[in-house]
């Protein structure tokens, strides 16, 4: 890292030393003993502008306090049946780790339905996964590998993506806004696999609108991406949808492969078990939904959503999935 970047980190550190005690306590939950890496993430998100990075970080910490994010792992905010229902329609799971120790999250963009509960339940469930990743998984890996591991990679499965996905844009935009403003630069790379024509068409329009650092993070792979992904992880860490012999068809999936999206997958059982155990040590003042406030999206991000919606409207004459067409 260059001298200018190091100077920016030091400047931001001095500003953070001056914030009020509640913000400092919340900041400890965020950085988990590695404040420098956290400040780097916020600086990158604001193009190394110290003042803007400080504003972003303080606003994020205030959001955490106002929405009780620091206690999200200490109570079962979702009944088990609703948790399983949400997990069954919002397809996210931890499939393993890269050879360098980064956790690998699979996301079923194309087949997520988001139709079992309210926006708030989905958002808080997503936040719970983020917090479990940042406060349990990443510290565990940091200890195991003897160096700070503070980011992950995400593999987005586009299998089954349909024009009807436009109805989910509000949900996806809300989750994206929460991540962009409060968990910036947590993903090293986004690998996109099993790509249908509908995604290819939108990607060509959206890509020029993205910031350069974001474009560098996104890699669209051929087919299920297995061969490329095996260069950075072992076969056992591949998400189930990347183990197919052919693109976009589950009939070629080995029968003994664990579905990382399943509520019965070890990751989800451990996450729910952790919150249940933690809650048994607390006096719960209230149960149920946190109803987390969703920040207003960045104007540039809102523009991208509008472009995607417009592109979907253009293709409105098509019906159903176009999963057989590749980039």
The model's pLDDT over 128-137, given as tens digits with 9 standing for 90+, comes to 999 999 999 9
Query: Is there a contact between 243 and 41 (Cβ–Cβ < 8 Å)?
Result: no
- Give the separation between CA 233 and CA 101, rounded to whole angstroms: 9
pLDDT at 250 over 50: no
- Residue 326: the pLDDT is 42
- Residue 294: the pLDDT is 78
Kindly report, residue by residue over 179-208, the tens digit of the pLDDT.
999 999 999 999 999 999 888 888 888 888
- Give the separation between CA 33 and CA 144, rounded to whole angstroms: 15
Q: What is the pTM of this model?
A: 0.88
- Residue 327: the pLDDT is 39
- Residue 156: the pLDDT is 96
Ramachandran category for residue 257: left, alpha or beta (phi over 0 → left; psi -120 to 50 → alpha): beta
* Block residue for tokens 């404040």: 35
- Residue 258: the pLDDT is 82
- 247 confidence band (pLDDT: 50, 70, 90): very low
pLDDT at 251 over 50: no
Q: What percent of the chain has pLDDT over 90?
A: 53
Q: Which residue has the higher pLDDT, 306 or 318?
A: 306
pLDDT at 286 over 50: no
* Domain boundaries defined on the chain: 3-66, 80-278
CATH for 3-66, among 3.40.50.10380, 1.20.1630.10, 1.10.8.20, 1.10.3720.10? 1.10.8.20
Kindly report, residue by residue over 231-244, the tens digit of the pLDDT.
999 999 999 999 97
Q: What CATH number does the domain located at 80-278 have? A: 3.40.525.10
- Give the separation between CA 13 and CA 5, rounded to whole angstroms: 12
Q: What percent of the chain has pLDDT over 70?
A: 85
- Residue 325: the pLDDT is 41
- Residue 90: the pLDDT is 87
- Residue 282: the pLDDT is 60
pLDDT at 321 over 50: no
Which residues neighbour 233 within 8 Å (Cβ) at sequence distance 6 or greater?
Answer: 96, 97, 98, 99, 104
**Helix (H) / strand (E) containing 246:** none
- Across residues 298-327, what is the average pLDDT? 62
- Residue 77: the pLDDT is 57
- Residue 309: the pLDDT is 72
pLDDT at 302 over 90: no
- Residue 116: the pLDDT is 60
């Amino acid at each position: 890292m260059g001298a200018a970047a190091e100077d920016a980190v030091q400047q931001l550190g001095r500003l953070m030393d001056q914030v009020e005690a509640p913000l400092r306590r919340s900041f400890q939950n965020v950085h988990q003993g590695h404040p420098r890496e956290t400040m780097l993430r916020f600086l990158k998100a604001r193009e190394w502008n110290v003042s803007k990075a400080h504003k972003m970080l303080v606003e994020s910490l205030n959001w955490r306090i106002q929405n009780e994010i620091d206690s999200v792992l200490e109570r079962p905010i979702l009944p088990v049946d609703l948790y399983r229902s949400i997990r069954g329609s919002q397809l996210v799971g931890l499939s393993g780790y890269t050879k360098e120790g980064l956790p690998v999250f699979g996301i079923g963009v194309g087949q997520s339905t988001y139709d079992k509960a309210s926006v708030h339940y989905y958002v808080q469930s997503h936040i719970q996964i983020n917090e479990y990743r940042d406060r349990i998984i990443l510290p565990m890996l940091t200890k195991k590998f003897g160096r700070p591991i503070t980011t992950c990679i995400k593999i987005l499965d586009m299998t089954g993506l349909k024009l009807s996905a436009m109805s989910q844009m509000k949900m996806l935009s809300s989750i994206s806004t929460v991540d962009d403003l409060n968990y910036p630069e947590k993903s090293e790379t986004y690998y996109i696999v099993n790509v249908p024509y509908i995604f290819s068409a939108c990607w060509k329009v959206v890509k020029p609108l993205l910031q350069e650092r974001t474009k560098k993070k996104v890699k669209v792979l051929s087919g299920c991406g297995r061969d490329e992904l095996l260069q950075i992880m072992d076969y056992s860490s591949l998400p189930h949808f990347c183990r197919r012999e052919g693109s976009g068809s589950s009939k070629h999936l080995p029968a003994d492969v664990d579905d990382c999206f399943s509520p019965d997958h070890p990751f989800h059982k451990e996450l729910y078990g952790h919150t249940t155990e933690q809650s048994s040590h607390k006096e719960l003042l209230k149960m149920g939904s946190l109803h987390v406030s969703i920040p207003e999206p960045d104007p540039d991000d809102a523009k991208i959503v509008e472009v995607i919606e417009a592109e979907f409207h253009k293709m409105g004459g098509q019906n159903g999935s176009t999963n057989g067409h590749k980039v």
